Amino acid sequence: MSSHDAYAEPERGRTLTVVLLALLILTVIGALFGFVLGRRDIDDPKSKAGSGQSSRPVDSVTSQAAPKGMPCPAFMEDGVKSRDAKAALPLVLQLYIRTDRHEVWICLEADGDGLWYQGHDKRKNFSGVDGSGETPIEGDNGLLVPRGNVTNAGADKYIATNEGTRYTVSRDKLVIEGKQTTSEDVRDWQPKK
C-alpha cells in the first residue's frame, strides 16, 4: 500500500460528507424558495382583485370563505348589479320558495355579507328556481329588497322589510304583513337539504 492510498480513504469520506451537506442545504433553500413563491401565488389574486379600499368594513364574521351552492337566477344578479355596483357577485341561493301565487328568492352575496330578497307575483307562470319562466319586473310583478333590509332569522327563515311591509320567508310559509296580513303555504322550495 502506498502512502498515497492511506490519505485517499479519509479524503473520500470527507468529500462524501461535504457533498451530502451541500445537497441538504440546497434542498432546504429550494423548499423555502418554493414555499415563498407558493404563498405569493396564493395571495396574488387577492391583491389584484381589490386595488383600492373596500367600501365595506371587514371583520371576522364577514371575511369568511365564499359561500357555495346553487346560483341565483341571472335576472336577480342583473337587478342587484343595477341597484348596487359594489355588490359581491355571484349570488348564491339560500332559499327559494313557491306558493300558489308568489315565489321568492333569498340570495347571499359571494363574500358572505349581504342578503337580497326577490319577490315575484305570478301573472302567467312561475319563473322557477332557474329563472327560465316569467321574469319578475321591478314595480310590476317583482320586488327586489337590498341587503341591509333582509335578515337571517335562523332555521331557514328570512325577514325582508320594504316601505312598511314585512315579508317573512321560510320553507313552510310566506307571511306578508303590511296594510293587510296574508299567509301562504309553501308548495315547493330549494335547495333541498
Domain boundary at 34, 49, 64, which?
49
Dist. CA 164–CA 170, nearest whole Å: 20
Asked if the structure places residue 58 within a domain, the reply is no
Residues 79, 39 share a domain: no
Q: What is the dihedral of CA 28, 29, 32, 33, to 10 degrees?
A: -150
Asked if the structure places residue 67 within a domain, the reply is no
Residues 80, 33 share a domain: no
pTM strictly above 0.75 = no
Sign of the Cα torsion 156, 171, 189, 101 reads negative
Asked if the structure places residue 61 within a domain, the reply is no
Residues 109, 28 share a domain: no
pLDDT values of the chain reduced to their tens digit, one per residue, 193 residues: 555 555 556 677 788 888 888 888 988 887 777 776 666 555 444 444 443 443 444 333 333 455 788 999 999 999 999 999 999 999 999 999 999 999 999 999 999 999 999 999 999 999 988 899 999 999 999 999 999 999 999 999 999 999 999 999 999 999 999 999 999 999 999 998 7
Asked if the structure places residue 55 within a domain, the reply is no
Asked if the structure places residue 117 within a domain, the reply is yes
Dist. CA 110–CA 139, nearest whole Å: 26
Residue with cell 335547495: 191
Dist. CA 38–CA 33, nearest whole Å: 8
Residues 172, 109 share a domain: yes
Domain that holds residue 12: 1-49
Residues 182, 95 share a domain: yes
Environment class of 150 (CB within 10 Å of its CB; exposed 0-12, middle 13-18, buried 19+): buried
Residues 178, 90 share a domain: yes
Residues 23, 81 share a domain: no
Asked if the structure places residue 80 within a domain, the reply is yes
Asked if the structure places residue 94 within a domain, the reply is yes
**Count of structural domains within the chain:** 2
- Residue closest to 50 by CA, chosen among 67, 35, 63: 63
Residues 45, 78 share a domain: no
Asked if the structure places residue 16 within a domain, the reply is yes
Can you list the alpha helix ranges (DSSP code H) found in the chain? 3-49, 74-83
Residues 106, 29 share a domain: no
Residues 183, 145 share a domain: yes
As a whole number of angstroms, the longest Cα–Cα distance in the chain is 112
